[in-house]
Chain A
């Protein structure tokens, strides 16, 4: 009630302001009249009565001000006045306003963009019903596992999933899923789409309603289903079918098998993997049909699934974990792969299942990008701090020049709080403009960031809509920066005694040593923070450079990977090797092709396989793990990896000839103590069987296998011609000098001439390298950008302070010159001042960088975070820029005309 009345009264006051003011005037006048009359009645003369009444009353204006202060609407009003006044001031100083807003916008924009990405990858809950009830079920501490691993998240096997579904009690529903890619082309060039293997409960447990048709249910996921129904995503429906209404019931070809599309998932649903979207969801039971001979569905050592569940009411993560732990021993006993050796089996039986919070879903991006993004957020925060310090400096300078205005206003009755409010309104105005521009900038920056970490094979899909967290973050940093750069100058500016200010006519009172000291402290901290950013920038770009110029052991440029799928040809197992060899021959015959060879594993593709090997050396047997690649002759010539001893594979190596192998230097070092391995033999253990012996016929130079950062791994190469069970796909590496475009079209023609049923896909190897350096490039680029920005801002700050110092000491310089000081000594005088500030900043900055750069240690390659050369370079470049920034005002000081300088007083 009373609140409403207050609101109504306030609104009346705002809307009918003039009338309210007029009434107040009249009331006060009436009061004064009444007081005068009363005093005259007591016998005072009219003049005396007037005087006494006026003294009693005090200033009419100040009474009115106090009455206004009672009501809330006056706050709104003064705020409005302050904003208008601030706007006018900023309009008078467009250069100041533009510089301030731009530097704030850059700082806020960079912070917001990085935070937005972090929010999307790490913090945001899945867009499903009650996401906080979801939990992931996986083995708590797996510490390695044995078997085949497919999909991005090979956490559990299908037999385990079936046991979990049967035995768990904590969840009202559980589901299993795994990401994959499907070729949906009926023939010819491969058409890859993002696929999901899902158990029948998937959509139900997540609480997803279909957009069209129906979603999958447990009835679709029956064992040995041959033609299951599949669900497509909204995006896929729009992209591939143009949103055609008649999609439900139509067929789609997945890996050459027809499936019926039974429904479309809603647009908001992208699965439970953050950062990716799916195109087609297929029930688990269809896996044997689609993967045929590579099926892992019923394999106890086939890891490919992730399990999640929705907690029953009243169940917590801890209680669910406890129940899962209880069923673990029996569950792993029942799913133990029969072929495991005793060591592997013991490890396997020790596994314990656990439940983990699942509201934010799952993402492999977290492992790769979460730490770098937090680090980048830290760097961006430094940039914003430097920008704030710059603004604070500018505001302080303005405060000095406005102190007469402040003194005057305080003298006529303004309270200090009122003046601080007004100065803060100015900062708020700048902050607001900076935030608005920053938000626009962030919009662009985020998209740039996303595209720079997206890849062709795993395109990134991000929900970048504004949410409360984003808004809160942007608003929070804006207010914080406003307070940072606005409050101290405002407090300083209003801490003047009106009398002192109004009396001192020329020099300002705020230019005293204390005031100037604060400005120097600001510049010192700016230089220190810039140094940190410059060190970071140099560290990351040197790390990237080291990676990019690294000797990978092979030449990446000019090599094309050609993937062929021969499934449609239905080749008998014994004819495959010969057919593949024929294809390679045909490829080599294409004009412009220098060499071509088959490869089981393409270096830097992220794929690989390893085996346990037993090497007889002297009387002993050395056992250990070695990487394996199965290749055809000319593989090393194609990748330009030198053969150091022995020979390459050739036509002599066939199914019937003795089995041979080529090893790399690390293999020779690890198993043969670095001796020339040619002529030695070893055996290979696989699935508890031993094969061999393999005779080593060649030694090759070390090369990177999985990624550029790795240490060289012991690797053995075997001849595809000696392989017992050749697969139905073939990978050929091709080195050529002709353009990629004409090479690809020539390859297409050649392959189609051999057989029209062969699927093919092309990947230039240097693109693999590019992808593997994505994170490093991102770090180098962004930290470089922040570094340049920081140096720019700090330079402006230093220039401002030195220029101000020169102006303040104009008369002193004039006297010195009049007394015979030459220009050089004046320049030295100014530079000495600058070098104190710079030196202090660099000293503090070096200490802070040494402490802070440790956070980057794991992201760097080939250099330590305390790399000496980096620090020297950073210190030198920052000093050079700073010297230039202080030399300009120094030169101006030296060119002063002593007469002019002295008259200035």
Chain B
């Protein structure tokens, strides 16, 4: 499907979702807005990839979900990290930093 978020490397979305949920549990729309805001609009996440990702992460045991009332008194499904998810985030962050640093070094050497 061609509706991947712009510039988002496959697999990165999972990491962004985990990172967004590091501090507190959030519902789907909240997560999408937060990713858009923090990335200053570089990443736009659409539901077509967001919801399959939720299902995937839940199945992997990194997310858990529960129904809660929102600030507007509506019911929404809130996602939160599990202990396993936290571990996964830590691992992925470390790996990402390592790769990014390596790529940066290569690009500098090139110039």
Distance, CA A1 to CA B28, complexed state (A): 26
Q: Are A63's CB and B48's CB within 8 A?
A: yes
| Proximity bits, A1-24, B CB within 8 Å = 1, else 0 | 110011001100000000000011
Distance, CA A70 to CA B27, complexed state (A): 20
Interface residue ranges of B29-76 to A (CB < 8 Å): 29-30, 32-33, 46-49, 51-52, 54-56, 58-61, 70, 72, 74-76
Within the complex, the shortest CB–CB distance from A777 to chain B, in Å, comes to 63
Q: Are B55's CB and A70's CB within 8 A?
A: yes
Tell whether A227 is near chain B: CB-to-CB under 8 Å: no
Tell whether B3 is near chain A: CB-to-CB under 8 Å: yes
Q: Are B56's CB and A70's CB within 8 A?
A: yes
Distance, CA A1 to CA B61, complexed state (A): 9
Q: Are A58's CB and B55's CB within 8 A?
A: no
Tell whether B106 is near chain A: CB-to-CB under 8 Å: no
Tell whether B19 is near chain A: CB-to-CB under 8 Å: no
Partner of B55, one of A2, A38, A67: A67
Q: Are B27's CB and A34's CB within 8 A?
A: yes
Q: Are A66's CB and B51's CB within 8 A?
A: yes
Interface secondary structure of B, over-half rule: helix
Within the complex, the shortest CB–CB distance from A325 to chain B, in Å, comes to 64
| In the complex, chain B residues whose CB is within 8 Å of the CB of A37 | 72
Within the complex, the shortest CB–CB distance from A59 to chain B, in Å, comes to 9
Task: Please judge, given known A-B contacts A30-B27, A30-B77, A33-B74, whether A63 and B60 are in contact too, CB under 8 Å.
Answer: no
Q: Are B28's CB and A27's CB within 8 A?
A: yes
| In the complex, chain A residues whose CB is within 8 Å of the CB of B47 | 28, 31, 56-58, 63
Task: Please judge, given known A-B contacts A5-B61, A34-B76, A37-B72, whether A69 and B27 are in contact too, CB under 8 Å.
Answer: no
| In the complex, chain B residues whose CB is within 8 Å of the CB of A69 | 52
| In the complex, chain A residues whose CB is within 8 Å of the CB of B30 | 34
Partner of B48, one of A1, A33, A62: A62
Tell whether B97 is near chain A: CB-to-CB under 8 Å: no
Within the complex, the shortest CB–CB distance from A393 to chain B, in Å, comes to 36
Distance, CA A390 to CA B73, complexed state (A): 64
Q: Are B59's CB and A34's CB within 8 A?
A: no
Partner of A38, one of B33, B48, B61, B70: B33
Task: Please judge, given known A-B contacts A34-B29, A63-B47, A67-B51, whether A9 and B74 are in contact too, CB under 8 Å.
Answer: no
Within the complex, the shortest CB–CB distance from B2 to chain A, in Å, comes to 12
Q: Are A2's CB and B28's CB within 8 A?
A: no
Q: Are A27's CB and B46's CB within 8 A?
A: no
Tell whether A377 is near chain B: CB-to-CB under 8 Å: no
Distance, CA A11 to CA B4, complexed state (A): 29
Partner of B75, one of A1, A6, A26, A38: A26
Tell whether A35 is near chain B: CB-to-CB under 8 Å: yes
Interface residue ranges of B1-32 to A (CB < 8 Å): 1, 3, 27-30, 32
Residue of B nearest to A62 (CB): B48
Q: Are A9's CB and B76's CB within 8 A?
A: no
| In the complex, chain B residues whose CB is within 8 Å of the CB of A268 | none
Tell whether A71 is near chain B: CB-to-CB under 8 Å: yes
Q: Are A30's CB and B51's CB within 8 A?
A: no
Q: Are B59's CB and A71's CB within 8 A?
A: yes
Residue of A nearest to B60 (CB): A2
Distance, CA A26 to CA B72, complexed state (A): 16
Residue of B nearest to A20 (CB): B55
Task: Please judge, given known A-B contacts A30-B74, A70-B52, whether A57 and B46 are in contact too, CB under 8 Å.
Answer: yes
Q: Are A35's CB and B29's CB within 8 A?
A: yes
Q: Are A27's CB and B61's CB within 8 A?
A: no
| In the complex, chain A residues whose CB is within 8 Å of the CB of B77 | 23, 26-27, 30
Distance, CA A30 to CA B76, complexed state (A): 6
Within the complex, the shortest CB–CB distance from A30 to chain B, in Å, comes to 5
Q: Are B52's CB and A58's CB within 8 A?
A: no
Known: A2-B61, A67-B55, A70-B59. 5 other contacts (CB 8 A): A6-B59, A24-B51, A57-B46, A63-B51, A67-B51
Ordered nearest first, which 9 A-B pairs have the shortest CB separation? A34-B29, A70-B55, A30-B76, A70-B52, A67-B51, A31-B29, A27-B77, A66-B52, A31-B28
17 inter-chain pairs at a CB distance below 8 angstroms, sorted by A residue, are A2-B60, A6-B59, A6-B60, A9-B59, A10-B59, A24-B51, A26-B77, A30-B70, A31-B47, A33-B74, A34-B70, A56-B46, A58-B3, A58-B47, A58-B48, A66-B49, A70-B52
